[in-house]
Structure 1
Amino acid sequence: MDKRLKWKAALAVALIVIVGVYLVFRLSAINLGLDLQGGLHLVLEVQADKVIETELVRAKDALSQELKKARIKFDAMNVDTNNALTITASTPEDLTQIKDYVTKEFPNLENKDLVSTGKSVTFGLQEDVVTHWKDNAIRQALITIRNRVDEFGLTEPVIQRQGKNRIIVELAGERDPQRAIDLIGRTAELRFQLVKDFAATEDDLLKRYDGNVPAGYEILPGAPEATSSGSFGAYLVETEAKVTGADLKDARVSKDEMNAPAVSFEFDRNGAKRFGTLTEQNIDKALAIVLDGMVQSAPVIRSRITDRGQITGSFTAEEANDLAIVLRAGALPAPVKILENISVGPTLGEDSITAGKRAIVIGGLLVVIFMAFYYKMSGIVADISLLFNFLFIMGTLAYFGATLTLPGLAGMALTIGMAVDANVLIYERVKEELRRGKTHRSAFEAGFSRANLTILDANLTTLIAAIVLFQFGTGAIKGFAVTLSIGILSTLFTALVLSKIIFDVLFQSGKVKQISI
């Protein structure tokens, strides 16, 4: 046996040993997909129009203050459900001043009136601005959901954008779907708003103000858990929030004065500065801690507070932990609507695994038997290569910590067929060479040499298709593409390199002159 072949054989054996040992100790690194171990599949739609409404409300508040500073008169300013900002003035002169001021100082706004009424003007965000904010909302929602899921502690979640405003979330192995849905879909908008008044019900509150909510204020309900613990059912609070959850640096589970679960939060530097100013200027006033439009608590400010606070309520330990997670991850930029909610039970996953294993074992055995029966000794060599091919596939999946799905099992089954297909091409070329009168050794050399190009061409075109599937496909399709790609590369190595080494070792040993085929 020449030195070159010895090196090839030694490297092949070393590679087989490394993959085998790695697979033994790292088999658990292969994650099972949603269809194999059960879990949750969600399709979410981000209500991006809400972002446009929010931006118009901010523009309205800013414009209102700017017009007052510029001493430009207006009677009313409102944002309607059609995402339009309407400003009413008493005189045409005031209206002209408003138009000129907005055009100069608020370039994101444009006049939507086709015909001027002389009493009011309607503005809206420019189309490119609307597109930017909507797209930004989807991207921010994707990041926020991913942060929440990461803190939830699940392995290999699938979180990706679909189309213009949809997000797909797949959580394999999740056994509490409703908790996951609540965690992912919660807007988690935290606001700190000063309280003017409160009452048991909204009607009781409105009676004190002749049925009208005072300008600059809004009525918010108390959270059910807070109401049941002795708080009020309705709060009249300032519309503007001086500090929001965007200023948080951290949130964690803690205990309140009654030793019940609560959530403590800490502001960043800018938030601490604003919160300190807010509390210092409003001592002995109630400050509502508002989460998703509900007042969780409304403590009275006794002294200046800077960087820390606490949200209390009738929380369980799990609820407090989930609230801390969503506050740390940040609020969603817009509400999300669940379009699809599919829970896959673990029993169905076990059935899929059993069926997949059965298909691979039966298919593999049939291929092994056929190759040994039809090609005799050469078929046994092909079967040995097939065994190592499967070993390399599993070892590679374990190395990368890949996720194995039901389509991935289908990819393995397909690889078995493609692997022996390469050997069939080689063996048929060998037979042709033998019929021409060549010796077995030279026939095998020629068979491998002349079949190489055909095998490479067939497998590389399939590999390109698998790469395209991985690039543009979603979860299940990607699982198929991954195992198929690994299988193709492994097939090329075992069929063209490993099989050739085995035949060369047999022929150069001097004990084998011909091999049955």
Structure 2
Amino acid sequence: MKSDRIRLIVVIAVIFVAFVVLLWPTSEQTYEGFAKVFQRIRLGLDIKGGARLEYRVDVEEGAENPSKIVDDVWTVLRNRLDAAGYTEAIVRKTFRENSSFIVIEIPAATETTRAEKLIGSTGVMYFGQVVDESEVDPSTDPRLRDLAKIKKAEWLSNRKGNVWYLVRKEIMLIKDLQLVSPSIVAANPVPDTRPGRFGYKVTFEVGRRDAEIFKKITQQLMVPESATGSATAREKRLAIVLDNVVQFAGYVVSVIPDGKAEITGNFSLEEAKQLAAILRSGALPARLEKISAGWVAPLLGA
């Protein structure tokens, strides 16, 4: 009996040592990732309360591989939360009543508005052509609605909801000259240092696969700086649209050959971080329906 106990202890010790050797980091980068995993576990298990959000994943009926779509949604949300600084957040999948759900728990969170915007964004981005604009809500003016049909475009508001742009996806009505959901290889918030500007902007880079299309778009929309005040130029502005909201509308004064561009708009640091996180993580492969958003009280007293 005693020898069996000793043998069991030795086996457990060998397994433990092997486990440590296999997982122990071999480089500084690996160590950081290794530490982040344990940090996330520790903080996720801290009983200190926080925010809890739950969403139903609306997978289209007849989708070829629903479980993969849910996995991809999880990955996009995990990447978004990490990029926006929510590294302590826990993201998990659940299944009930023939539906898939995503639950996000953010320890010690004091508000959910920012996280809800980050999670709820579809992340669908495209570059379009502004052919007109209005300070009147087009839904209240039949003439503006008719104009959209004539121009083969749609009215979209800016972030503040006080200006509407008539945006066309197909640039200059050239067949197939459009760029929807481009691959974004980098996106970062940086201070806007232009004279008279305050706040932040977001610089980004389109992947090599889409950079050539982006170059052709800027070639078609390019307007000499001296001509930006003309009526013709007003119909050749570039729009950067995210979630059907115009994030940027402006003139292209030179061809952009390398896919590097920026979105300006006097963003706050938090807004710029959130926008960059959404651009980097890409579009959600399915729509999310919010089920609940609330607070989880600490299980133990402080």
Instruction: Check whether TM > 0.5.
Output: yes
Residue number in structure 1 paired with 2:268:
316
Q: Distance in 2 between matches of 1:139 and 1:240?
A: 32
Q: Tell me the CA shift for residue 219 of structure 1.
A: 1.2
Q: Distance in 1 between matches of 2:144 and 2:296?
A: 53
Asked if residue 299 in structure 1 is aligned to residue 238 in structure 2, the reply is no
* Unmatched runs of 5 consecutive residues or more in structure 2: 17-34, 172-177, 224-235
Q: What TM-score results when the alignment is normalised by the length of structure 2?
A: 0.70
Asked whether the equivalents of residues 206 and 213 of structure 1 are also in contact (C-alpha less than 8 Å), the reply is no
Q: Distance in 2 between matches of 1:277 and 1:309?
A: 14
Q: Tell me the CA shift for residue 200 of structure 1.
A: 1.5
Instruction: Tell me which of 133, 136, 142 is aligned to 2:74.
Output: 142
Q: Tell me the CA shift for residue 304 of structure 1.
A: 0.8
Asked whether the equivalents of residues 206 and 212 of structure 1 are also in contact (C-alpha less than 8 Å), the reply is no
Q: Tell me the CA shift for residue 288 of structure 1.
A: 0.8
Residue number in structure 1 paired with 2:211:
272
Q: What TM-score results when the alignment is normalised by the length of structure 1?
A: 0.43
Residue number in structure 2 paired with 1:329:
281
Q: Tell me the CA shift for residue 310 of structure 1.
A: 1.1
Q: Distance in 1 between matches of 2:68 and 2:273?
A: 28
Q: Distance in 1 between matches of 2:210 and 2:42?
A: 41
Greater relative contact order (CA < 8 Å, ≥ 6 in sequence) = 2
Residue number in structure 2 paired with 1:179:
114
* Unmatched runs of 5 consecutive residues or more in structure 1: 19-25, 50-126, 228-232, 355-517
Letter in 2 for 1:207: R
Residue number in structure 2 paired with 1:154:
87
1:321 and 1:282, CA in 2 relative to 1: closer, same or farther beyond 3 A?
same
Between the aligned residues of both structures, percent identity stands at: 29
Q: Distance in 1 between matches of 2:255 and 2:50?
A: 47
Q: Distance in 2 between matches of 1:162 and 1:283?
A: 50
Residue number in structure 2 paired with 1:369:
none
Asked if residue 249 in structure 1 is aligned to residue 185 in structure 2, the reply is yes
Asked if residue 167 in structure 1 is aligned to residue 102 in structure 2, the reply is yes
Q: Distance in 2 between matches of 1:135 and 1:234?
A: 39
Asked if residue 349 in structure 1 is aligned to residue 281 in structure 2, the reply is no
1:264-307: CA deviation from partner (whole Å, max 9, x where unpaired): 11011011111001111222220111111111221111121131
Structure label with greater radius of gyration: 1
RMSD of aligned Cα (Å):
3.5
Asked whether the equivalents of residues 243 and 275 of structure 1 are also in contact (C-alpha less than 8 Å), the reply is yes
- Superposition pairs of residues 329-408 of structure 1, within 5 angstroms: 329-345=281-297, 348-351=298-301
Residue number in structure 1 paired with 2:125:
190
Letter in 2 for 1:155: E
1:344 and 1:282, CA in 2 relative to 1: closer, same or farther beyond 3 A?
same
Asked whether the equivalents of residues 193 and 289 of structure 1 are also in contact (C-alpha less than 8 Å), the reply is yes
1:27-49: CA deviation from partner (whole Å, max 9, x where unpaired): x9672556821122222012334
Instruction: Tell me which of 127, 151, 155 is aligned to 1:219.
Output: 155
Q: Tell me the CA shift for residue 170 of structure 1.
A: 2.3
Letter in 2 for 1:323: L
Please state which structure has a larger fraction of its residues in strand: 2
The number of equivalent residue pairs is 250
Please state which structure has a larger fraction of its residues in helix: 1
User: Which aligned segments of 4 or more residues in structure 1 are displaced greater than 6 angstroms?
Assistant: none
Letter in 2 for 1:269: R
